[in-house]
Chain A
């Protein structure tokens, strides 16, 4: 369940993105085909990137306006 607190909500969304990215990367490592390589980079990498950026953003916002 997502929290009402915006910082926590952002972190939860970030966490979900990272988990999805990690799961996709794990599946692609097991599934050894050229298309898996593309999915690994394009979808897994993108989800992890978005999740990490969102997490870092939540930290910065939290530092600027401590609740």
Chain B
């Protein structure tokens, strides 16, 4: 990842140097070759560099370290290390049921059409609130809407542990209700413990992961 950043930054700086030369000596663009060089340097290269940069920034904005770089998220980051298998985010993170380096994004993205773009816009809103507004206390942060089972089913649908799970099949109405999002995976008595900041100070933590 660092190597890719170095390459992109090098290309950007190379483009900047070439454009600077053209700005300092516009006479270069008088010839046909100079015009082509100017077009490549001032149109093709900046667009190419911009696309590479956007792609890199988008990938970086999915990383767990990116999400946890805001202090408001510290407690949420700590909750990933709770030593309790019933603690949903912790068990997913520690057992790599989601990629550990994209843990937040994997569960909090939106797996619908343009969902990735929507969560990026939410992210920009969060940054604006963080720097320009009053960020809420960590325990007061709420989702924009009820957690949609679609996000869980993106991975679990078709998985044997889910499809053949005893509790999921105890009542014939349960599975269709889960799949149609009428019965939340996070319902009381199911997988209800998510982050649980209120009890974090009393929790036992997984040491190996730190």
By a beta-carbon cutoff of 8 Å, the part of chain A in contact with chain B is 3, 8, 11-12, 14-16, 18-19, 21-23, 25-26, 28-30, 32-35, 37-38, 40-41, 44-45, 48, 51-52, 55-56, 59
Are A22's CB and B127's CB within 8 A?
no
* Distance in angstroms between the alpha carbons of A42 and B50 in the assembled complex: 12
B20 cross-chain contacts in A, Cβ below 8 A: 15, 19
CB within 8 Å: A-B pair count:
95
A12, A22, A29, A41: the one contacting B5 at CB < 8 Å is A29
Q: Which residues of A contact B26 (CB under 8 A)?
A: 3, 8, 11-12
CA distance A38 to B130 in the complex (A): 12
Q: From B16, B23, B69, B70, name the one whose CB has the most chain A CB atoms within 10 angstroms.
A: B23
A48 surroundings in chain B (CB, below 8 A): 46, 50
Task: Determine the residue in chain A with the shortest Cβ distance to B50.
Answer: A48
Other-chain contact of B23, A16, A32, A41 (Cβ < 8 Å): A16
Further 17 A-B residue pairs, CB within 8 A, beyond A38-B128, A48-B46 = A3-B26, A11-B22, A15-B23, A18-B46, A19-B23, A25-B50, A25-B53, A26-B9, A29-B5, A30-B9, A32-B60, A34-B70, A37-B127, A41-B54, A41-B57, A55-B42, A59-B39
Q: Which 9 A-B pairs have the closest CB atoms?
A: A15-B23, A26-B12, A22-B16, A8-B26, A55-B42, A34-B127, A19-B16, A26-B9, A15-B19
Provide the residues of chain A in CB contact with B70, threshold 8 Å: 34
- B69, A29: Cβ atoms closer than 8 Å: no
The residue from B15, B16, B49, B57 contacting A37, defined by CB atoms under 8 A apart:
B57
Known contacts being A11-B38, A52-B47, is A22 close to B60, with CB within 8 Å? no
Residues of B within 8 A of A37 (CB): 57, 60-61, 123, 127
Q: How many residues of B contact A (CB 8 A)?
A: 37
Contact with A along B12-56 (1 / 0, CB 8 A): 110110011011001001000000001100110011011001101
C-alpha spacing A59/B126, complex, angstroms: 41
Max chain A C-beta neighbours (<10 A), residue from B8, B42, B66: B42
Assembly CA distance A40 to B42 (angstroms): 18
CB distance from B151 to the nearest CB of A (A): 22
| Contact present for B57 and A22 (CB under 8 Å) | no
Which B residues are in CB contact (< 8 Å) with A34? 61, 66, 69-70, 123, 126-127, 130
Contact A29 B53 (CB under 8 A): yes
A63 smallest CB distance to B (angstroms): 12
Report which of B15, B126, B131 forms a contact with A22, defined as CB distance below 8 A.
B15
Rounded to whole angstroms, the CA-CA distance of A29 and B50 in the bound complex is 11
